[in-house]
Structure 1
Amino acid sequence: MHITFLRHATAEDRSLAGSDAERALIEKGEKQVKRLAVFCQANQLFPGAIYSSPLLRARQTARILHEQLSECPAPEIVDWLSTATSPRTIIAELGKLADRGLDDVWLVGHEPDFSETIGQLLNTAGDSIVVKKASLTRLDADFSASPNATLLWSIPCSMMR
């Protein structure tokens, strides 16, 4: 299964927002997602399925991607991508998706959850991985036995021209 991790785009500063769950994208974040969509369109990168954290900044990132990228399915909001979700939980949910036959899944979520999950799938320390805002990190994962993956690529939004 191909898994593409998309960290949410730039959102309001924590000190300016009411609750963390309701932090919205700022103008820079909206521009990042639009740049990402142009990059994906130009490189024929289309999700087979897209799952998003229920937090506002992730939902907005997924929605803008869906609106801007032809052939992007509507995102499904799932609680297992909320902040502070354990890598074990995310990997278990990915295994269920693999069992259903999904082979190209995109996740929109948060740090440090993504770097820790990627680290576990790559059998390395999560603190050795940095997932930048509005970046794409793609793995080829195998869930047939002990979950593991190979890193295919990781591209920060700043390099998507």
Structure 2
Amino acid sequence: MNLYLIRHATAEPKAETDAQRNLVPEGKEEAKIVGKGFKKLGIKPDVIFSSPLNRALQTAKVIAQTLKFENEVVIIPELENGHSSSELLEVIKKYDSQSSLFLIGHMPSLAEFLSDFIGASRPQAFPFDKGGVAAIRSEQLRLGIWELRFMLRQSQLRRY
């Protein structure tokens, strides 16, 4: 299975609540760039998961639209900050027949998930900028054994 961990794109700094923060125009463009990068790399999701927070869901929807993904984005609270990698893995296991899952979430959780999945000890070693992507792969759905395939910053995706 291939997992693509994606940080939400740039959002407005303030809203009535943190969960309601929306993407700014620059953020919508960043999300399109992620989708275009995946398209050029020939990567297609079987399922797109998103945190329920507006900025992540909007990022997921722009990526889905750019890729002409026809299914609905699946909202899961396990992609919000404060959830464990074990909780996220339990959700992923329900989709074990799928080969490619996109997971749109937030920092610092994305770095923590990545670190736990690949068996690294320092999540701080994995900075995700807004609209950044990390790809990991494993045949077995267990923590600590996944292979890091690549990490791309927004500036690198823009080159595609």
TM-score above 0.5:
yes
1:145–1:86 distance in 2 versus 1, CA, 3 Å:
closer
5+ residue gaps, structure 2? none
Q: Please state if 1:106 is matched with 2:102.
A: yes
Asked whether the 8 Å contact 1:46–1:72 carries over to 2, the reply is: no
- Give the match for residue 119 of structure 1: 115
Q: Please state if 1:24 is matched with 2:19.
A: no
For 1:152 and 1:73, the matched residues in 2 are separated by: 26
Asked whether the 8 Å contact 1:47–1:72 carries over to 2, the reply is: no
Asked whether the 8 Å contact 1:53–1:78 carries over to 2, the reply is: yes
TM-score, reference length from structure 2: 0.89
Which of 71, 77, 80 matches 1:79? 77
For 2:142 and 2:9, the matched residues in 1 are separated by: 34
For 2:141 and 2:92, the matched residues in 1 are separated by: 12
Deviates more, 1:29-38 or 1:111-120: 29-38
AA at the equivalent of 1:89? E
For 1:70 and 1:96, the matched residues in 2 are separated by: 24
TM-score, reference length from structure 1: 0.89
For 1:145 and 1:38, the matched residues in 2 are separated by: 30
Q: Please state if 1:128 is matched with 2:144.
A: no
- Give the match for residue 3 of structure 2: 3
Asked whether the 8 Å contact 1:8–1:110 carries over to 2, the reply is: yes
SS in 1 for 2:52: coil
Q: How far 1:26 moved relative to its partner?
A: 0.7
1:46–1:72 distance in 2 versus 1, CA, 3 Å:
farther
Identity between Structure 1 and Structure 2 (%) = 25
SS in 2 for 1:148: coil
Which of 32, 38, 56 matches 2:54? 56
- The Cα RMSD (Å) is 1.7
SS in 1 for 2:90: helix
1:18–1:6 distance in 2 versus 1, CA, 3 Å:
same
